[in-house]
Amino acid sequence: MPDINPRASEHAEIREAVRAACAPFDSAYWQRIERESAYPDEFVRALTAAGWLAALIPEEFGGGGLSLTEASIILEEINRSGANSGACHAQMYIMGTLLRHGSPAQKARYLPAIASGACRLQSFAVTEPATGTDTTRTRTTAVRRGDRYVVNGQKVWISRVQHSDLMLLLARTTPLEQVTKRSHGLSVFLVDLPDAESRGLRVRPIENMVNHETNELFFDDFEVPVENLIGEEGLGFTYILDGMNAERILIAAECIGDGYWFTDRARRYAGERVVFDRPIGQNQGIQFPIAQAYAHVRAADLMRYEAARLFDDSQPCGAEANLAKLLAADASWQAANACLQTHGGFGFAVEYDIERKFRETRLYQVAPVSTNMILSYIGEHVLGMPRSF
Ligand X SMILES: Cc1cc2nc3c(=O)[nH]c(=O)nc-3n(C[C@H](O)[C@H](O)[C@H](O)COP(=O)(O)OP(=O)(O)OC[C@H]3O[C@@H](n4cnc5c(N)ncnc54)[C@H](O)[C@@H]3O)c2cc1C
Applying CB under 6 A, which residues contact ligand X?
A: 124-127, 132-133, 157-159, 208, 212, 214, 363, 366-370, 372-373, 388-389
CB of 277 to ligand X, least distance (A): 44
Q: Between 8 and 119, whose beta carbon lies closer to ligand X?
A: 119
Return the number of the residue (81 or 91) whose C-beta is nearest ligand X. 91
Name the residue nearer to ligand X (CB basis): 18 or 158. Answer: 158
Nearer to ligand X, 214 or 334 (CB): 214
CB of 256 to ligand X, least distance (A): 20
Nearer to ligand X among residue 111 and residue 125 (C-beta): 125
For the chain, give the secondary structure using H, E and C. CCCCCCCCCCCHHHHHHHHHHHCCCCHHHHHHHHHCCCCCHHHHHHHHHCCHHHCCCCHHHCCCCCCHHHHHHHHHHHHHCCCCHHHCCHHHHHHHHHHHHCCHHHHHHHHHHHHHCCCCEEEEECCCCCCCCCHHHCCCEEEEECCEEEEEEEEEEEECHHHCCEEEEEEECCCHHHCCCCCCCEEEEEEECCCHHHCCEEEEECCCCCCCCEEEEEEEEEEEEHHHEECCCCEHHHHHHHCHHHHHHHHHHHHHHHHHHHHHHHHHHHHHCEECCEEHHHCHHHHHHHHHHHHHHHHHHHHHHHHHHHHHCCCCCHHHHHHHHHHHHHHHHHHHHHHHHHCHHHHHCHHHCHHHHHHHHHHHHCCCCCHHHHHHHHHHHHCCCCCCC
CB of 290 to ligand X, least distance (A): 28
Indicate the residue whose CB is closest to ligand X: 132
Pick between residue 21 and residue 158 the one whose CB is nearest to ligand X: 158
Q: Residue 214 CB, nearest distance to ligand X (Å)? A: 4
We find the least distance from the C-beta atom of residue 58 to ligand X, in angstroms, to be 25
Choose between 5 and 91: whose C-beta lies nearer to ligand X. Answer: 91
CB of 377 to ligand X, least distance (A): 11
In the complex, the smallest distance separating the C-beta of residue 208 from ligand X, rounded to whole angstroms, is 5
